Structure 1
Amino acid sequence: MKKVLSLFLVFSATAIISQEKYRVTYNYQTEVINYYKLDKLNNIEDTLKSPKFKRNSLIELRLTNVNPFAVNIKTDVKEETIHPKMSGFNFSSLLGNVNSLSGESLNLNVGSVAGENSFLSRGKDPQAAKSRGDKLSNQFSDLNKLTTNIDAIEASFRSNLLNPNFDKTEILKNLKESSSKFMDARIPNPKENYYTFLYNLDNAVKEDTRELQNEIANISSEIDETLDSEKPMSRGELVQTNNAFKNLEALKLSLNAKQTNTSESLNTIKNLYTSLEASNFEQTYDYIIEADKVGIELKFIQSELAQTEGAEANLIKTRSLNLFSKGGFKINTSVALTLNNFGSKSKEFFIDENNIIGEDTGNGSTPNLSTMINFYPVISESFNIGGSFGVSIPVSGEARGINFLLGPTIFLGSKSRLSLSGGVAYGTVTKLKNGLEVGDTATFTDIDLFTKSVYDFGYYFGISFSLFELN
């Protein structure tokens, strides 16, 4: 038992090792399809043109330059489902809780808080108050530009990720170019280290926000001092002071919202950038080809990320790959019309009016209705060479028995339905018995008393049409 098991394991290992491997590549960007034969180490051994794959070979289908952020792939195979080696990204979990972060502009009335005509200018140097107001306005303006650029980077980055015609290199290049617009000494070159760029950009936003928060806190303290002052205030001055206080509170809320949104936006950019760096714009599927012809339909639809942006799962494009196999052994049956010919062996005996035995030799072919069993190794889809074995009976004349047919066959057409065959026919012919020969005198006039049917060899030619496949 152990020996049988060992032999089985050795045979199985040999079958696995001897399995041929091929690679079919489809480039999403260029639409180019290439075929390769692989060695045992999965290295390209040869480039093929319009190949026929050996049956039971492993086909590696590799799709290149497919943007997984923009495109999902659905494969339909006639025989069985292709199982991918790797799955795509699940962007819904990454971005499901991310809102549209366009941000709010800080277009508030800073002049009412600190400026030439603000409440802080009362009893003070108007020029100093104006200078302070201008500084505060510039700080808000700088922060607004900084956060607006961050929003623009995110929008551009997401747009590039959703473009199915962009490859990984192009998306990274566009991202780093759009991130190089900052004219700030605190922010390093994004092309050198993008994570360092994002970290310093986040710190710059926080630093500017803190400075503005400190200035707002100082102004708030001055407002409190003004309100606590024993000096009486006119109605107009009181209204102005209250408005300034409300604007300060609005500025605080706006700054907090802006910092939160900007931090979330930078975190989104970081997460998407990390996913992009780790992503593979190739998808590989394995398939063992067993059928004569395999049709693989590739459907490219919009990804989960595109759907989170409000797009529907629309079909972008469909491509079909047809793979043909060779090798293997096929058996089918067919109905044939054959012409059987036994040459000079095909004789008709008779007794003439002088009771002399005579003969007629017929070289003509007799039509037969035949049933054939066809067998052939698969060479191509529409042309194969094999053999046929069958039995036939004559459709005209006197039926003396069944004929047996065997010979080579050419199979034509889709699924090799039509076949042309010819070869050896083994059937019945008529011969004289009891040692009689042509020219002898017969004692009776019934020729059947002096003849018998015997099997002999001849030849046949026929045309048949397959009924169904047995194997």
Structure 2
Amino acid sequence: MTKLLTSGIICFFCLISQSALQAQEKYRILYDYNTEAATYLALDNTNAVIDTLTKPRLKRNSLVEIKLVNVNPFAVDVIADIKEEDIVPSGSGFNFTSLLGGISGMGGDNLGLNVSQSSLNNSNFFDSASRGTSLSNAFTELSDKMTAVRALENTLKANLLNPNLDKEAILQNVKALARQQADARLSDPDANFYLYLSNLDKIINADKQQLAGDLETMATQVEAATESSANISRGELVERNRTISNLEALKATLSNTAELAHLSIDEIRSLYTQLEAASFERTYDYQMDGDEVNINLKFVQSSFSESQDTDAEVTTIKTRSLKLFATGGFKINSSVALTLNNFGDKSKDFFISEEGVIGATANDYFIPNLSTMINFYPVIGDNFNVGGSFGLSIPLADDITGVNFLLGPSIFLGSKSRLSLSGGVAYGPVDRLTDGLEAGQTTSLSSLDNFTKKVYDFGYFFGISFSLFDIN
């Protein structure tokens, strides 16, 4: 029986060694912020996807890539808290404070185009009434362009602050609004958005210069008309002064209007550049060491978004939790066990009969022992695992002494593998006759106390143990 046990133990530990030497596995957890769907993927050594997992059970000691997609970094920062026993790594979000910088609004009086234009059509001062109408239309067109620039900037900022929009959606929304401009001088924003912005800036500057020239011409005509009129009524004088005042107001605000448009276009260009370069993905690398892992994802308001708020609090947008379970790998723990050791007919009690014959009685019964065990096993399940145990035991009997060595397979039960059932080979002390004495011989000795010795031999054991703490 001992030979069978020894052969089985050797085969068993060969299997354990093979499982422990397996190559490290790789996995990817793909979480989509918009759809809130989590996909578990198995990877090869080149990080190519080889399988989609239906259950999040990952090999122990495997490498895990946690990848978050469609996370708008302008609107959302991510705080990743990975809890596994005492391991708590965390990721930090991106900081887009550099994107901010003096975004000036262009509304109301800043446009400078709400000057009265009623006197621009006065034929008393201009050589053609159409000049005033043309100038009024030019100012209206410039005002429309400024409104479009302001709308483009506000749309881009609003889209950047929307956590539910992905990168492609924001780009398309901005280009769609830009396409609504009907000016034939503008290029296609879909072909090259930067060229579109450059042309828009160039057109506004050209319109400004044209208007400035027209205003200068009209001012000259007003002065010339006044000087050539010998008789001018009081009403005409009031009208002349109002016209000059309007022209001066328009000239004073025209340059500032164009500068505001230039700054706004520069801001749009800067934000668009940052958007194109920004990554809407977050990646965290982790090694699966524990039995269970909780990945807590906290999505909070980004620094860019916070800078647009009036309050000082960082808003939590949402929180999500992903739970992983480990399988495989190798565990080692220690335990206290109660074992029953048996050495069969290898352990004997020797005596001398009344006839002077040496007798021997086999101790083929189980001796209770208090043992301490080192348990080791590959993890194959949550509540049931098979491995091995090695330990030392001391007999719980006054007339039996010595330390036994134990080695054999074990079955581990429970979610924490705290209870185990073991059995295997015991190697412990047994009595042997010395000085050539053998059982069945006739002797004149009255006692065998000085003619026996302790030698180590093989037996077997069964036991139950309770795990104290994990070593690995």
- TM-score scaled by length of structure 1: 0.76
Shift of 1:171: 1.6
In 1, the alpha carbon distance for the partners of 2:156 and 2:126 equals 49
Q: Please list the CA deviations of residues 402-440 of structure 1 after superposition, one character each: whole Å capped at 9, or x if unmatched.
A: 3332211123445533322222334456789965669x9
Partner of 1:67: 72
Q: How does 1:77-226 map to 2 (within 5 A)?
A: 77-78=82-83, 79=87, 81=89, 88=94, 91-102=96-107, 104-106=110-112, 108-115=114-121, 120-122=122-124, 129=129, 131-225=130-224
Shift of 1:268: 2.0
Point out the more displaced range, 68-77 or 159-168: 68-77
Amino acid at match of 2:394: I
Partner of 2:466: 465
In 2, the alpha carbon distance for the partners of 1:420 and 1:231 equals 124
Partner of 1:258: 257
Task: Count matched residues.
Answer: 441
Gaps of 5+ in 1: 1-17
For 1:203, what is the secondary structure of its paired residue? helix
For 1:114, what is the secondary structure of its paired residue? helix
Partner of 2:4: none
Task: Determine whether 1:43 maps to 2:48.
Answer: yes
Point out the more displaced range, 217-226 or 139-148: 217-226
1:34 aligns with one of 23, 39, 44:
39
In 2, the alpha carbon distance for the partners of 1:181 and 1:403 equals 90
Is the 2:407–2:426 Cα contact (8 Å) retained in structure 1? yes
In 1, the alpha carbon distance for the partners of 2:125 and 2:261 equals 39
In 2, the alpha carbon distance for the partners of 1:452 and 1:19 equals 52
Amino acid at match of 2:372: T
Gaps of 5+ in 2: 1-22
For 1:66, what is the secondary structure of its paired residue? coil
Is the 2:115–2:249 Cα contact (8 Å) retained in structure 1? no
Aligned-residue Cα RMSD (Å) equals 4.2
Q: Please list the CA deviations of residues 91-127 of structure 1 after superposition, one character each: whole Å capped at 9, or x if unmatched.
A: 3223323233446455634334324xxxx444889xx
Is the 1:35–1:51 Cα contact (8 Å) retained in structure 2? no
Task: Determine whether 1:53 maps to 2:59.
Answer: yes
Q: Please list the CA deviations of residues 376-425 of structure 1 after superposition, one character each: whole Å capped at 9, or x if unmatched.
A: 34445654332112222344675534333221112344553332222233
- Closer, same or farther in 2 for the Cα pair 1:102/1:462, shift >3 Å? farther
Identity %: 49
Is the 2:125–2:221 Cα contact (8 Å) retained in structure 1? no
In 2, the alpha carbon distance for the partners of 1:71 and 1:83 equals 13
Amino acid at match of 1:402: V
- Closer, same or farther in 2 for the Cα pair 1:36/1:254, shift >3 Å? same
Q: Please list the CA deviations of residues 414-470 of structure 1 after superposition, one character each: whole Å capped at 9, or x if unmatched.
A: 5533322222334456789965669x99998x9989998775544333222222333
Q: Please list the CA deviations of residues 218-257 of structure 1 after superposition, one character each: whole Å capped at 9, or x if unmatched.
A: 2322343356567465555444443333332332333223
- Closer, same or farther in 2 for the Cα pair 1:214/1:383, shift >3 Å? farther
Is the 1:106–1:140 Cα contact (8 Å) retained in structure 2? no
Q: Please list the CA deviations of residues 44-84 of structure 1 after superposition, one character each: whole Å capped at 9, or x if unmatched.
A: 334344342363x5443332222222223333345374789
- Closer, same or farther in 2 for the Cα pair 1:63/1:404, shift >3 Å? same
Task: Determine whether 1:389 maps to 2:390.
Answer: yes
Is the 1:403–1:425 Cα contact (8 Å) retained in structure 2? yes
Q: How does 1:187-336 map to 2 (within 5 A)?
A: 187-225=186-224, 228=227, 231=230, 236-289=235-288, 294-310=293-309, 312-323=313-324, 329-336=330-337
In 1, the alpha carbon distance for the partners of 2:349 and 2:320 equals 66
- Closer, same or farther in 2 for the Cα pair 1:300/1:331, shift >3 Å? same
In 1, the alpha carbon distance for the partners of 2:233 and 2:355 equals 162
Point out the more displaced range, 303-312 or 449-458: 449-458
Partner of 2:425: 424
Shift of 1:153: 1.9
In 2, the alpha carbon distance for the partners of 1:214 and 1:413 equals 90
For 1:260, what is the secondary structure of its paired residue? helix
In 1, the alpha carbon distance for the partners of 2:162 and 2:279 equals 16
- TM-score scaled by length of structure 2: 0.75
In 1, the alpha carbon distance for the partners of 2:114 and 2:72 equals 42
In 2, the alpha carbon distance for the partners of 1:111 and 1:326 equals 80
- Closer, same or farther in 2 for the Cα pair 1:223/1:415, shift >3 Å? farther
Partner of 2:405: 404
In 1, the alpha carbon distance for the partners of 2:63 and 2:471 equals 25
Point out the more displaced range, 384-393 or 323-332: 323-332
Shift of 1:306: 1.4
Amino acid at match of 2:144: K
Amino acid at match of 2:270: N
For 2:190, what is the secondary structure of its paired residue? coil
Shift of 1:165: 1.6
